[in-house]
């Protein structure tokens, strides 16, 4: 009697690889932002902090270094606040704000914060905003209320990541403080 060799298990993902990859996306923030933080597997190698931001942006930080880097990128935009309005009025339904975006932060991102402006199609006013480029995502901040609340959310995510991730003590410096020095 011969033993039959087990057949390999082929998953649908292995059979049918993803037909496309989203290489870059935009997230537009205006008004006061809200979020929920969830911690999984605290103080283990698998620790992560999940951030559900307003129901449309899902960010997962796999280490404190990544959380600190994202907060650092947003904090770098502070100098552009002088050009932003305090709060913009709620906009009509914007089809580009409806999708949900999920991003896993496993590494500290490179970033750039740029003040932007454009004249409206009717040529009656100039709209100003800040673009924060961070790898695969650009965060467009339309007003100061969005900036300050987003910074508070990311500061809390960073504090949480410092507390639950194994690399926390190495990356506990707060990028929003004036005496902050980025790691080399």
Q: Report yes or no on 88 lying in a domain.
A: yes
Q: Which residue has the higher pLDDT, 11 or 183?
A: 183
Residue 19's pLDDT is: 67
Q: Report yes or no on 4 lying in a domain.
A: no
% of the chain exceeding 70 in pLDDT = 84
Quote the pTM value: 0.85
Residue entry with tokens 């932060």: 105
Q: Give the count of domains, the chain.
A: 1
Residue 94's pLDDT is: 62
Exposed/middle/buried for 56, CB within 10 Å: 0-12, 13-18, 19+?
middle
Strands of 57-61's sheet in order across:
35-40, 48-53, 57-61, 101-105
Q: Report yes or no on 51 lying in a domain.
A: yes
Query: Over the stretch 98-138, which tens digit does the pLDDT of each residue have?
Result: 678 999 999 999 999 999 999 999 999 999 999 999 999 99
Task: Tell me the three state secondary structure of residue 46.
Answer: coil
Whether the pLDDT of residue 61 is over 90: the answer is: yes
Q: Report yes or no on 12 lying in a domain.
A: no
What value does the mean pLDDT of the chain take? 90
Q: Report yes or no on 9 lying in a domain.
A: no
Q: Are 158 and 71 in contact (CB under 8 A)?
A: yes
Q: Report yes or no on 161 lying in a domain.
A: yes
Task: Tell me the three state secondary structure of residue 49.
Answer: strand
Query: Over the stretch 152-174, which tens digit does the pLDDT of each residue have?
Result: 999 999 999 999 999 999 999 99
Q: What domain range includes position 111?
A: 24-171
Q: Report yes or no on 152 lying in a domain.
A: yes
């Amino acid at each position: 009697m011969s033993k039959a060799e087990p057949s390999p298990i082929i998953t649908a993902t292995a059979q049918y690889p993803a037909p496309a990859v989203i290489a870059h996306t935009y997230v537009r923030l205006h008004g006061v932002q809200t979020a929920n933080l969830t911690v999984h597997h605290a103080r283990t190698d698998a620790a992560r902090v999940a951030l559900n931001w307003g129901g449309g942006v899902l960010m997962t930080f796999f280490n404190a270094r990544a959380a600190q880097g994202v907060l650092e990128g947003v904090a770098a935009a502070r100098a552009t606040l002088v050009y932003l309005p305090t709060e913009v009025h709620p906009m009509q339904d914007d089809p580009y704000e409806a999708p949900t975006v999920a991003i896993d932060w496993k590494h500290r991102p490179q970033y750039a914060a740029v003040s932007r402006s454009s004249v409206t199609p009717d040529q009656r006013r100039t709209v100003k905003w800040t673009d924060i480029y961070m790898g695969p995502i650009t965060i467009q901040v339309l007003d100061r209320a969005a900036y300050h609340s987003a910074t508070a959310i990311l500061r809390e995510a960073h504090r949480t990541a410092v507390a639950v991730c194994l690399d926390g003590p190495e990356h506990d410096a707060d990028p929003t403080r004036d005496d902050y020095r980025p790691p080399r």
